[in-house]
A and B are shown apart, each in its own frame.
Chain A
Amino acid sequence: EVQLLESGGDLVQPGGSLRLSCAASGLPFSTSPMSWFRQPPGKGLEWVSTISAGASSTYYADSVKGRFTISRDNSKNTLYLQMNSLGVEDTAIYYCARYYYISGAQRLFDYWGQGTLVTVSS
């Protein structure tokens, strides 16, 4: 059974930092690109960032570029999101998801975690 378990969400003050983790099991993590998404309370879904399987390539939404860093530790089957300079607009549930990407012919996010809540407030 595939499991993606996010952790690290918390209440943080504006300007603060937080690191999210996503522990994966039941899938070939080291060969799977991974992504983070977020969803502000009561609003729609937003893609945040994607990292390739070997971590050689990373991609970011403009809204987080320069503030967030995606990384992974394939020896620990864990994905990370380092979030700096947080603002109230970053308040959201953050989800990790596996990006199934086969030579561009198949592209889908097939497994998602349950999410972790990040609240940015003074």
Chain B
Amino acid sequence: IQLTQSPSSLSASIGDRVIITCRASQAITTFLAWYQQKPGKAPNLLIHAASTLQNGVPSRFSGSGSGTDFTLTISSLQPEDFATYYCQQLNNYPITFGQGTRLEIK
């Protein structure tokens, strides 16, 4: 299953609302996760089951979607949110990732 994220990169300002999309090549119900990764660090799980916020993740992060189309929304960008974001499908093997969205400061 191929996952296509858009955009590949994004420039935004503190306080902006940001939406990242992830489209699957076939239906994956809601077996989709979102990760944040900062340089030199391991991925950090933000959202699982398409819309469930992982424990400890700020509520400004939210996810939605099912089937083939999914979104990650950051309601009000904070300085610590500038990072790369990946979607991941866990519907079946091989588990796959989107190519990533690099979120930069404008």
Contact = CB atoms under 8 A, between A and B. Distances in A.
Interface of A: 35, 37, 44-47, 50, 59, 61-62, 95, 106-110, 112-115
Interface stretch (B9-17, B65-73, B75-83, B90-98): B90-98
21 contacts: A35-B95, A44-B98, A45-B86, A45-B100, A47-B97, A61-B94, A95-B42, A106-B49, A107-B48, A107-B49, A107-B90, A108-B45, A108-B49, A108-B90, A109-B45, A109-B88, A110-B48, A112-B42, A113-B42, A114-B41, A114-B42
B33 interface: yes
Contacts of B93: 50, 59
A113 B49 CA distance: 22
B90 A50 contact: no
A10 B45 CA distance: 27
Contacts of B90: 107-108
Main secondary structure of the interface of B (DSSP, over half): loop
A109 B33 contact: yes
B45 A110 contact: yes
B49 to A, nearest CB: 7
Interface string B26-56: 0000010101010001111100110000100
B6 interface: no
A113 B42 CA distance: 7
Contacts of A59: 93-94
B99 interface: yes
A9 to B, nearest CB: 14
Given A47-B97, A115-B42, A108 B48 contact: yes
Contact of A47 (B31, B42, B49, B94): B94
Nearest to B98: A44
What 6 pairs across the A-B complex have the smallest Cβ distances? A108-B48, A47-B95, A112-B42, A107-B90, A45-B97, A59-B93
A110 B54 contact: yes
Contacts of A37: 43
Given A44-B86, A44-B100, 4 more contacts: A45-B100, A95-B42, A95-B43, A113-B42
